[in-house]
Each structure stands twice: as structure tokens, then as C-alpha cells.
Amino acid sequence: MSVLIDHDTRVLVQGITGHQGTVHTKQMQLFGTKVVGGVTPGKSGLTVEGVPVFDSVAEGVARTDANASVIFVPAPFAKDALFEAVDAGIRLTVIVTEHIPFHDMLQMYHYSRLHGARIIGPNCPGIAAPGKAKVGIIPNVVFRPGRVGVISRSGTLTYEIVSGIRDQGLGQSTCIGLGGDPVVGTSFVDALPWFEKDPETDLIVLVGEIGGTAEEDAADHIAHHFTKPVVAYIAGRSAPPGKRMGHAGAIISRGRGTAESKLAALKSAGCEVATFPYEIPELVAKLAAGPARR
């Protein structure tokens, strides 16, 4: 078992004929993912990396039984791409695209929830379950199958931390990159119950950033509902007070969303908190060698 994706995940690539769609279709295939089709309007009949291309998601789902999709289309067209996927019955969509307008994402979020669909992203690296499937752009080489779950708002830090866990001789059950925009389809609080219920996950790494209250919300959930060990890290500790960072979601307002407030909340919830990213794999190894539950 893994979180959200497994050996039975059948992926449709929206925007497969673009450069990023083509490159990452190949990488997902090398990871072991069943990429069953792609979508680019007007390109039906082509193949990309041996994958058939369809004019619409509905056609792709009807021909391939796809049950997940990944969106590589440009930001102005991402909303329509998501609506099309949801209308075709896709219930898991990873949105790699960045710079999606705020109000577009608000509509996308509520439309997907209304129809029982799940978005990972936008502006995210996706989700990976080593040995099973990957939907997105996380580098293949950093992974190793194991029992550590990872939930992260930062793409690049995710790669570094996952690689460090592998170098400790451990591996990952599922890794989810949530994305760094102000509105994302999946939050820490959404994802934590999945890992709590997953019998193949013994502990998790939670990687947050300054800005917003997602990590404080996660800390409250962990304190009251999560029983597995947690290693946490917050990026942006050295940012000057009130500084707006590169990620659209990393905005500090009226003293909330600071690294200090997030770290205090996570420590209070019983998490092991790393000061620097390189400390995370060592903390994970320590917890992995100890009791399985908090």
C-alpha cells in the first residue's frame, strides 16, 4: 500500500507534446509508472515515447482507463485542463504548472472538491511512491523504497532531503510535493491522515516554509490526531521580519507565519525539529531505530 498512487495508477499526461511533457513522460516511464496516454488538442494520432496522444481527456480516459493525470500546460490554460480532467472522471490530478492566477486556482480547488477529485499542486514536483509509480517531475535517482513518508512545500528541498534519507540506508513510502502557491489543492492537514492510515509508513518528514499558517495547522493536527513520529523542518529561518520570499505562498503577515511561530508549534506537538536540512536524515535514522509510534 502507498498514499494516493500505486502499481494500478494509470496516468494521462496533459500537454504531452510540449518539451516538459515529453521529457517527464519518459522519466515517469523509467520510474515504472504506467503512462497510458497523453492529451494535446489537434494532435490525436501521434505517439510520444510510445504513448498515444488524444484530442481530449474524455477520449483518453475512454480509450485507456486512465485514473490520474498530470498537467504540464501553460498557466492560462491550466484551469480548463483541470476542469476537463475532472469532467472526464479523473480523481487525482498533479498540476506542475506554475504562475496560475490566484482566482483561477480558487475555482479549480472548489470545482475539484465538489466533484470528489483531488489536486496535488499547483507549482509542485508531484508525488512518488518508490517501486510503484511517480506522477510529476521529482528526479528518479533520489529515491529508494522504504517506510519514511515525506510531505513538503519545497521542491528542491524535497530532493535534497529524500536523497539524504536514501544515503542513510533508508527509503520512502510516499513523497508528496504540495506546492508553494497561496492556494494549493492539498494541505499538510489533508495529507497527514493518509500517512497515519498507511501501514507501509512508520514516520514522516514534514518540510514547511515561512508564510501562511499551514504548518501551525499541521502541528495542531499532529498534536491531537497523529500518532507516528514526525521530523519537521521550516525553510526561511534567516528571512528578515516581514520579508516576502520567492514562493507566492511564502508571505508573512502581522507576525503570523514566521519560522519561529511554526517551529514553536511543531515542537509543542512533539515533533523532532531540524535546524538545518542536513540534520533531517540523521533525525530520521534515529527515529527509525526507535519506537515505531510517538
Average pLDDT of every residue of the chain = 93
How far, in Å, CA of 243 to CA of 261, rounded? 15
Instruction: Provide the angle, in degrees to the nearest 10, between the axes of the packed helices 57-64 and 75-87.
Output: 40
Q: Residue 180: which pLDDT band, with cuts at 50, 70 and 90? A: confident
The three grid cell numbers given for residue 49, joined into one nine-digit string:
515515447
Nearest CA-CA partner of 155 in 176, 177, 136, 137: 177
CA-angle at 138, arms to 137 and 144, nearest 5°: 145
Task: Kindly report the pTM of this predicted structure.
Answer: 0.93
What's residue 237's pLDDT? 73
Percent of the chain residues topping a pLDDT of 90: 85
Q: Tell me, yes or no, if 247 is annotated catalytic.
A: yes
Model confidence pLDDT, tens digit, residues 230-248: 999 999 776 666 555 555 5
Q: How far apart are CA 212 and CA 12, in angstroms?
A: 32
The C-alpha cell 491522515 sits at 193
Above 60 in pLDDT, residue 292? no
Task: Write down the pLDDT at residue 135.
Answer: 98
Backbone angles phi, psi at 273, to 5 degrees: -110, 125
What nine digits make up the cell of 22? 515529453
> Position 91: which residue type?
R
Which amino acid appears at position 136 of this protein? G
Higher pLDDT, 76 or 259: 76
User: What is the model's pLDDT at position 251?
Assistant: 52
Distance CA 293, CA 33 (A): 31
- The residue from 24, 115, 224, 247 that is catalytic is 247
Instruction: Answer for the pair 251, 211: CB distance below 8 angstroms, yes or no.
Output: yes
* Exposure of 77 in the CB half-sphere (CA atoms within 13 A): 9
CA 48 to chain centroid, in Å, comes to 25
Quick check: helix, strand or coil at residue 74?
coil
Residue with cell 475555482: 107
In contact, 71 and 39? CB cutoff 8 Å: no
Domains and CATH numbers, the chain: 10-120 (3.40.50.720), 139-288 (3.40.50.261)
pLDDT band of residue 124 (cuts 50, 70, 90) is very high
DSSP 253: B
